[in-house]
């Protein structure tokens, strides 16, 4: 009888432990789901103004000196613009005009309106400035400003290592091939982690600007992108990044070392790499940027960014979308690497020639490696590395 009751006690104990385990797991998953929903709501209700130089051939820097202020029918934010020798205050001001799509902007430099207009384009080069001295001194034709609605706030990149898991969604990874790699990486508490959530691109177009200024709730349609990952600790930062588009602010001064996991390498990850490097070019930092692509922990799709030639034959992606497997076709992989490198060596760096004196770009993979120096018209000497690991 003692043996019988002992067996019963052990069985009951195991049952209780199993119930607790299931309960804890369910709670943890519910907590993660709630965090994901909260991240989407946060992004949908976010707003800010931003300005920066774009495609400038000589040095120029726009530095925010305030957060975005919202009034009864306006938004405004203060900046300092600099050409390296002198600097002046600038204010970007946006007003409601009673139209669901359009708004008026005023750009103040030294507290005087120098450019204004009514537009429905939330990302635009400012119109002609009415002061030729200001135009010539601060190359105002290269000033690009944004009214950011339903978009996550910029994320700060600090010194050291960071892991970025890109769009671990079942739409891209239906067999959850990368789930173990991501969840294993997340257990390393010694480095910061970012999980990028997919969203509809140009979601800001769904925002009624007139309603926004009147303080009405945005209430955008909920996002439906099922996630493949489940075990995501609370210290992992969740950022909404449609197609890999989100903003960063670089605070690192010595080195930023980024390791990507997830996908897709030839679209969302490609875009996010650009934004990391944007943050370098839009700063005064001299930090070395190292981007690591562990090919056994990354997926790709057939078609990449349009016009870049970083694609794979459909016959290959039907068999496997794992980057490591795709790179086994050496002829395809060589062309792919050449085009990936050529974009950053050419189009990307050519858009920032005023922001650096030189950039040493090192691209390292088993089949294709390059070590080149690109010269610009600025003062900083920068280093960028792109490393393909486990290939």
Mapped to the 3 state alphabet, what secondary structure does 245-256 carry? CCCEEECCCCEE
Cβ(265)–Cβ(308) below 8 Å: no
Please state the pTM of the whole predicted model: 0.91
Round to whole Å and give the CA distance between 339 and 348: 12
- The average pLDDT across 30-51 equals 94
pLDDT score for 28: 53
What percentage of the chain has pLDDT greater than the value 70? Answer: 92
**Two structure tokens written together for 174:** 């239906």
DSSP 314-368: HHHHHH--BHHHHTTSHHHHHHHHHHHHHHIIIIIHHTTGGG-SEEEEEEE-SS-
144 pLDDT higher than 60: yes
Split at pLDDT 50, 70, 90, the class of 76 is very high
Which one has a higher pLDDT value, 195 or 391?
195
In the numeric block, the tokens 């760096």 are attached to: 349
pLDDT score for 224: 87
E strand residue ranges, 54-190? 61-64, 69-70, 74-82, 87-96, 103-109, 112-119, 123-125, 143-149, 155-157, 160-166
Q: What are the φ/ψ torsions at residue 7 (nearest 5 degrees)?
A: -65, -40
**Two structure tokens written together for 259:** 């390791």
**Two structure tokens written together for 164:** 């970025």
Q: What are the φ/ψ torsions at residue 77 (nearest 5 degrees)?
A: -150, 140
In the numeric block, the tokens 């050291």 are attached to: 160
- The average pLDDT across 361-387 equals 97
Measure CA 222 to chain center: 21
217 pLDDT higher than 90: no
Q: What are the φ/ψ torsions at residue 303 (nearest 5 degrees)?
A: -100, 135
pLDDT score for 9: 44
342 pLDDT higher than 50: yes
Pairs from 328-333 (Cβ < 8 Å, separation ≥ 24):
330/367, 333/365, 333/367, 333/368
**Two structure tokens written together for 151:** 């978009």
- The average pLDDT across 66-94 equals 96
- The average pLDDT across 275-282 equals 98
pLDDT score for 338: 98
**Strand pairing of 381-389 and 237-240?**
unpaired
The DSSP code for 120 is S
Which residue from 270, 242, 266, 276 is spatially nearest to 148, judged by alpha carbons?
Answer: 242
- The average pLDDT across 367-373 equals 97
6 pLDDT higher than 50: no
Round to whole Å and give the CA distance between 37 and 27: 15
Split at pLDDT 50, 70, 90, the class of 296 is very high
Cα distance between the two ends of the chain: 62
- The average pLDDT across 60-76 equals 96
What percentage of the chain has pLDDT greater than the value 90? Answer: 88
Round to whole Å and give the CA distance between 128 and 147: 19
Split at pLDDT 50, 70, 90, the class of 26 is very low
380 pLDDT higher than 80: yes
34 pLDDT higher than 70: yes
151-200 confidence digits (pLDDT tens): 999 999 999 999 999 999 999 999 998 999 999 999 999 999 999 999 98
Give the containing element (helix H, strand E) for 193: strand 193-197
- The average pLDDT across 126-130 equals 94
Split at pLDDT 50, 70, 90, the class of 13 is very low
Which one has a higher pLDDT value, 370 or 8?
370
Round to whole Å and give the CA distance between 364 and 374: 17
**Two structure tokens written together for 92:** 């970007």
């Amino acid at each position: 009888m003692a043996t019988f009751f002992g067996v019963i006690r052990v069985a009951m104990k195991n049952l209780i432990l199993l119930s607790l385990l299931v309960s804890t797991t369910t709670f943890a998953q519910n907590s993660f789901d709630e965090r994901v929903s909260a991240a989407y709501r946060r992004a949908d209700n976010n707003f800010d103004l931003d300005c920066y130089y774009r495609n400038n051939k000589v040095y120029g820097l726009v530095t925010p000196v305030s957060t975005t202020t919202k009034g009864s029918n306006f938004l405004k934010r203060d900046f300092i613009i600099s050409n390296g020798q002198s600097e002046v205050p600038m204010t970007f001001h946006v007003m409601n005009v009673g139209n669901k799509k359009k708004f008026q902007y005023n750009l103040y430099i030294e507290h005087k309106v120098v450019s204004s207009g009514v537009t429905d384009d939330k990302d635009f080069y400012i119109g002609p400035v009415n002061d030729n001295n200001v135009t010539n001194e601060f190359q105002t034709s290269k000033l690009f400003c944004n009214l950011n609605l339903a978009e996550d706030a910029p994320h700060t990149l600090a010194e050291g290592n960071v892991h970025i898991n890109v769009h671990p969604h079942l739409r891209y990874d239906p067999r959850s091939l990368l789930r173990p790699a991501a969840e294993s990486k997340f257990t390393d508490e010694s480095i910061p982690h970012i999980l990028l959530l997919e969203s509809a691109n140009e979601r800001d177009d769904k925002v009624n600007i007139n309603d926004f200024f009147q303080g009405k709730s945005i209430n955008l349609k909920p996002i439906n992108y099922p996630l493949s990952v489940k075990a995501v600790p609370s210290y992992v930062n969740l950022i909404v990044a449609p197609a890999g588009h989100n903003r960063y602010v670089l605070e690192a001064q010595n080195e930023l070392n980024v390791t990507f996991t997830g996908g897709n390498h030839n679209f969302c990850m490609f875009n996010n790499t650009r934004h990391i490097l944007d943050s370098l070019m839009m700063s005064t930092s001299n930090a070395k940027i190292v981007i690591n692509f562990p090919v056994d922990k990354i997926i790709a799709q057939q078609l990449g960014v349009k016009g870049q030639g970083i694609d794979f034959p459909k016959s290959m992606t039907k068999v496997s979308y794992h980057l490591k497997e795709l790179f086994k076709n050496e002829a395809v992989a060589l062309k792919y690497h050449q085009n990936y490198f050529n974009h950053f060596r050419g189009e990307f760096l050519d858009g920032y020639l005023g922001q650096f004196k030189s950039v040493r770009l090192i691209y390292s993979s088993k089949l294709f490696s390059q070590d080149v120096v690109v010269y610009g018209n600025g003062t900083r000497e920068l280093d960028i590395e792109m490393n393909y690991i486990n290939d």
